[in-house]
């Protein structure tokens, strides 16, 4: 049995009442939060710990979940600064993605996961939809291997499209199920459930009705969920109306697949009926505000979703349509975008963003309540954020400082399942320089294979 005591900081619990214990303490035993309290920890706790961490001048908060990203896109930063979604796919993503191999995927995942950990995400959902050639499951395996080495909590969502997509990346339903099952048997449940595997149809216009039913049925037979892009752009909704005479959520519901085990990434262009359906079926929405602004996709109706009781989680989206995976930036953007869009300074508050990023992330992972709060029994996925910075202090309200002031530069320590992965801003088991150098070499080789000129050479 191993134990850690974090004390002296302001403990932002993200519990049902947004309790802040200032100062407070957190006692971790065997990867879970054994106890949390205000003031000084009890003497019995002080005697029994293996590691003591002083968080004076800091905030202690739950780790955030990056509920939708594409880790391979860490190699694509800045290549699509002036393109809407569909143009970006055709001119940037597809030509290089078909040249991705397992080694490239591994190096992209390593730097992408390191970025996530240093950006506040202890849990990452990787919508991995690049599986060229006959061994697509090996690319998934490479991503899981990187996650295992770095210690992050990972949901590997195997993306697929069986029509209307770039030919080298198309998979039929049975191929997607076979490849995902292969990865699932190797990795799902690994390290006490730190790594999970599910299916992830890519986009409604790329998926046939039959394939959707088959893959969702397979995922449910495994006890796992389904992750899908939904209503990201107005153009895509129009495509669905033209072909199927249904909007995206209506289509999913008509197939009988909409439910609590479904995660709807983006969900920008939804009408009232769709919001009501999502609320009724209990599906989860994953909001990507920075990406939606970057691609000029639109503004999701987050306030109306929350009013209906829809669980909304947060994400960066892939670095190809954001350029970074920084959950502190996502926190701030989530609140500010709703305020300015609605011309209402009360539209969202810092506590709302923290709930979406932390507590609600466990719903995307498929384990509601298992992590994302600092409460007894929850997994010890925690961040220690230094508040003693000219960019942050003086702090009048800790939640406000975390959402509006803090950045990855202020992130001092990261714990996942009680493991102290990041200390003083550095991963304890990783050579940051080696990760960067390997990533640059691998990205250079990828774009050379694809014949795409970049400044890498």
Is residue 136 scored above 70 in pLDDT? no
Is the per-residue pLDDT at 452 higher than 90? no
Q: Which domains does the chain have, with CATH numbers?
A: 3-62+372-424 (2.30.40.10), 65-365 (3.20.20.140)
Work out the average pLDDT over 388-408.
98
Listed range (41-55, 204-218, 298-312) with the worst mean pLDDT: 41-55
Looking at residues 198-221, what average pLDDT do you find? 98
Calculate mean pLDDT across residues 53-64: 98
- What secondary structure letter does DSSP report for 107? H
- pLDDT at residue number 457: 61
Question: Residue 135: what pLDDT?
Answer: 65
pLDDT at 137: 78
- Cα 41 from Cα 24, distance rounded (Å): 8
Report the pLDDT value the prediction gives residue 407, as an integer from 0 to 100: 98
**Res 275: pLDDT:** 98
353 touches 334 (CB < 8 A): yes
Q: What is the average per-residue pLDDT within 430-437?
A: 97
Looking at the DSSP bridge assignments, the partners of residue 262 are 226
Beta bridge partners of 264: 228, 285
What phi, psi does 228 have (nearest 5°)? -150, 140
Instruction: For residue 422, list its beta bridge partners.
Output: 414, 427
Give the span between the Cα atoms of 12 and 263, in whole angstroms: 27
Number of helices (H), then strands (E), in the chain: 18, 17
- What average pLDDT does the chain have? 95
Q: In this predicted model, what pLDDT tens digit does every residue of 152-185 receive, in sequence order?
A: 999 999 999 999 988 888 999 999 999 999 999 9
Instruction: For the full predicted model, state whether its pTM sits above 0.75.
Output: yes
**Would the pLDDT of 363 be above 90?**
yes
Residue 326: burial class (beta carbons within 10 Å; 0-12, 13-18, 19+): buried
The CA R_g of the chain, rounded to the nearest whole Å, is 21
Residues in the chain: 457
Give the span between the Cα atoms of 401 and 394, in whole angstroms: 9
**How many degrees, rounded to 5, is the angle at CA 444 between CA 438 and CA 447?**
140
pLDDT score of 99 = 86
Residues 75-121 pLDDT 10s = 988 877 777 767 877 777 778 788 889 999 999 999 999 999 999 99
Please answer whether residues 393 and 374 qualify as being in contact, where contact means their C-beta atoms are separated by less than 8 angstroms: no
In percent, how much of the chain has pLDDT > 70?
A: 98
pLDDT, residue 251, reads: 98
pLDDT (0 to 100) of residue 108: 97
Answer yes or no: are the C-beta atoms of 200 and 227 closer than 8 Å.
yes
Q: What is the pLDDT of residues 299-336, one digit of tens each?
A: 999 999 999 999 999 999 999 889 999 999 999 999 99
In angstroms, the CA 196 to CA 193 distance is 6
Query: pLDDT-derived band of residue 192, with 50, 70 and 90 as boundaries?
Result: very high
**pLDDT beyond 80 at 42:** yes
* Separation between Cα atoms, residue 313 and residue 43, nearest integer Å: 38
Give kind and range of the element (H or E) at residue 8. strand 3-12
Rounded distance between C-alpha atoms, residue 350 and residue 31, angstroms: 28
Q: Are 60 and 9 in contact (CB under 8 A)?
A: yes
pLDDT of residue 170: 93
Phi, psi of 161 (to 5 degrees): -145, 135
């Amino acid at each position: 049995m191993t134990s850690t005591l974090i004390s002296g900081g302001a403990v932002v619990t993200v519990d049902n009442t947004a309790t802040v214990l200032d100062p407070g303490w957190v006692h971790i035993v065997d990867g879970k939060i054994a106890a949390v309290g205000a003031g000084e920890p009890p003497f019995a706790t002080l005697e029994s710990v293996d590691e003591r961490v002083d968080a004076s001048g800091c905030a202690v908060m739950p780790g955030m979940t990056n509920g939708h990203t594409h880790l391979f896109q860490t190699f694509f930063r800045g290549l699509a600064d002036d393109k809407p979604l569909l143009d970006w796919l055709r001119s940037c993503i597809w030509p290089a993605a078909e040249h991705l191999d397992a080694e490239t995927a591994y190096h992209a995942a390593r730097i992408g996961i390191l970025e996530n950990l240093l950006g506040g995400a202890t849990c990452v959902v990787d919508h991995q939809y690049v599986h060229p050639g006959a061994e697509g499951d090996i690319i998934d395996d490479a991503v899981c291997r990187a996650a295992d080495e770095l210690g992050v909590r990972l949901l590997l969502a195997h993306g697929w499209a069986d029509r209307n997509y770039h030919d080298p990346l198309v998979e039929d339903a049975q191929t997607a199920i076979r490849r995902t099952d292969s990865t699932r048997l190797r990795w799902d449940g690994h390290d006490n459930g730190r790594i999970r595997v599910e299916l992830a149809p890519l986009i409604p216009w790329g998926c046939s009705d039959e394939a959707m039913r088959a893959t969702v049925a397979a995922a449910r037979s495994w006890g796992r969920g389904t992750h899908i892009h939904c209503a990201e752009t107005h153009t895509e909704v129009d495509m669905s109306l033209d072909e199927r005479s249904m909007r995206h959520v209506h289509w999913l519901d008509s197939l009988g697949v909409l439910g609590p085990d479904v995660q709807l990434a983006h969900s920008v262009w939804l009408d009232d009926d769709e919001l009501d359906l999502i609320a009724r079926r209990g599906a989860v929405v994953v909001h990507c505000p920075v990406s939606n602004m970057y691609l000029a996709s639109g503004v999701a109706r987050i306030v109306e979703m929350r009013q209906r009781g829809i669980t909304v989680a947060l994400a960066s989206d892939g670095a190809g349509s954001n350029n970074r995976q920084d959950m502190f930036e996502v926190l701030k953007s989530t609140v500010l975008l709703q305020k300015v869009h609605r011309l209402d300074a009360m539209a969202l508050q810092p506590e709302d963003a923290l709930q979406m990023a932390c507590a609600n992330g466990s719903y995307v992972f498929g384990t509601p309540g298992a992590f994302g709060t600092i409460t007894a029994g929850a997994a010890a996925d925690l961040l220690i954020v230094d508040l003693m910075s000219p960019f942050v202090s003086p702090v009048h309200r800790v939640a406000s400082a975390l959402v509006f002031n803090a950045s990855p530069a202020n992130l001092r320590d990261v714990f996942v399942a009680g493991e102290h992965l990041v200390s003083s801003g550095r991963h304890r088991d990783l050579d940051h320089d080696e990760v960067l150098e390997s990533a640059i070499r691998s990205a250079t080789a990828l774009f050379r294979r694809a014949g795409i000129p970049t400044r890498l050479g």
